[in-house]
Amino acid sequence: MVVTGTGLEADLEAALDAERPDARLCLRIAEEYHRRGDRQQAFRWLARVVDASDQFVEWSGAASMLARLAAEERPLARRQARIALTGSYTLKPFGALLRLAALREGIDVVLHESGYDQYRQELLDGASPLYRFEPSHIVIAPHAGELRFSDPGDEPSLRLSREVERWSALWGAARLHSNATVVQHLFALRPEESLGHLSARLQGSRYSLTRELNRALAQDAPEGVLVVDLERIAADFGKRQWFDDRYWHMTKQAVALDALPLIARHTAAVLAASLGLSRKCLVLDLDGTLWGGVVGDDGLPGIRLGTGADGEAFVAFQEYVLELKSRGIVLAVVSKNDDAVARLPFERHPDMRIKLDDIAVFRANWDDKATNLTAIAQSLGIGLDALTFVDDNVLERQLVRRMLPEVDVVDLPEDPSAYVRRMADYLRFETVSLTDEDLNRTEQYRARNAVEELRQSTVSLDEFLASLKMAAYVAPFDELHLPRIAQLMGKTNQFNLTGLRCSEDELRRLMGDPDAVHLYLRLKDRFTDHGLVAVLIGRREGSLMLIESWLMSCRVIGRAVEEWMLEELCLRATAIGCARLRGSYIPSGRNELVRDLYPRLGFVQAGEGAWELDLQDRTPAARSHIGAWDGK
Domain count, the chain: 4
Read off the pLDDT of residues 342-365 as tens digits, 9 standing for 90 and up: 999 999 999 999 999 999 999 999
Evaluate whether 108 touches 77 at the Cβ level (below 8 Å): yes
Q: What are phi and psi of 179, to 5 degrees?
A: -100, 15
Evaluate whether 351 touches 311 at the Cβ level (below 8 Å): yes
Q: Domain check: are 219 and 85 in the same one?
A: yes
| Structural domain contains residue 72 | no
Evaluate whether 546 touches 538 at the Cβ level (below 8 Å): yes
Q: Domain check: are 120 and 149 in the same one?
A: yes
**CATH classification of the domain holding 385:** 3.40.50.1000
Cα–Cα separations (whole angstroms), residue 610 to 280, 311, 366, 572: 32, 60, 47, 21
Q: Domain check: are 216 and 239 in the same one?
A: yes
| Structural domain contains residue 71 | no
Cα–Cα separations (whole angstroms), residue 160 to 140, 174, 185, 208, 404: 19, 22, 18, 10, 51
> Exposed (0-12), middle (13-18) or buried (19+): which is 277, by Cβ within 10 Å?
buried
**CATH classification of the domain holding 552:** 3.40.630.30
**CATH classification of the domain holding 160:** 3.40.50.1110
CA distance 270 to 216: 19
Among residues 274, 291, 315, the one where a domain terminates is: 274
CA distance 439 to 448: 16
CA distance 420 to 612: 53
Evaluate whether 330 touches 439 at the Cβ level (below 8 Å): no
Q: Domain check: are 481 and 572 in the same one?
A: yes
Q: In the chain, which residues have pLDDT < 70? A: 1-6, 17, 150-153, 459, 621-624
Q: Domain check: are 291 and 262 in the same one?
A: no
Evaluate whether 494 touches 550 at the Cβ level (below 8 Å): no
CA distance 343 to 341: 5
| pTM of this structure | 0.80
Q: Domain check: are 329 and 416 in the same one?
A: yes
| DSSP 8-state code for residue 260 | H
Q: Cβ contacts of residue 155 below 8 Å, gap of 6+?
A: none
Residue 306 structural domain: 281-424
Q: Domain check: are 480 and 623 in the same one?
A: yes
User: How does strand 137-141 pair with strand 79-87?
Assistant: parallel
| DSSP 8-state code for residue 221 | P
| Structural domain contains residue 134 | yes
Q: Domain check: are 418 and 549 in the same one?
A: no
User: How does strand 580-584 pair with strand 544-552?
Assistant: parallel
| Structural domain contains residue 448 | no
CA distance 398 to 368: 12
Signed CA dihedral, 372, 378, 362, 318: sign only: positive
**3-state secondary structure string across 124-171:** HCCCCHHHHCCCCEEEEECCHHHCCCCCCCCCHHHHHHHHHHHHHHHH
How many alpha carbons lie under 13 Å from residue 7 in its C-beta half-sphere?
Answer: 7
| Structural domain contains residue 443 | no
**pLDDT at residue 5, rounded to an integer:** 45
Evaluate whether 591 touches 494 at the Cβ level (below 8 Å): yes
| Structural domain contains residue 447 | no
| Structural domain contains residue 344 | yes
Q: Cβ contacts of residue 198 below 8 Å, gap of 6+?
A: 205
- DSSP secondary structure, 9-68, as one string: HHHHHHHHH-SS--HHHHHHHHHHHHHTT-HHHHHHHHHHHHHH---HHHHHHHHHHHHH
Q: Domain check: are 148 and 249 in the same one?
A: yes
| Alpha helices by DSSP H, 283-368 | 295-302, 308-326, 339-348
| Structural domain contains residue 431 | no
| DSSP 8-state code for residue 625 | T
Helix (H, G, I), strand (E, B) or coil at 474: strand
- DSSP secondary structure, 173-208, as one string: HHHHH--PEEEEE--PPPS--TTGGGGGT-TTSHHH
Q: Domain check: are 208 and 322 in the same one?
A: no
**pLDDT at residue 1, rounded to an integer:** 36
Among residues 231, 250, 274, the one where a domain terminates is: 274
Q: Domain check: are 509 and 609 in the same one?
A: yes
**pLDDT at residue 450, rounded to an integer:** 74
The vertex-531 CA angle with 525 and 536, nearest 5°, equals 105
**pLDDT at residue 152, rounded to an integer:** 60
Among residues 274, 305, 326, the one where a domain terminates is: 274
Q: Domain check: are 101 and 116 in the same one?
A: yes
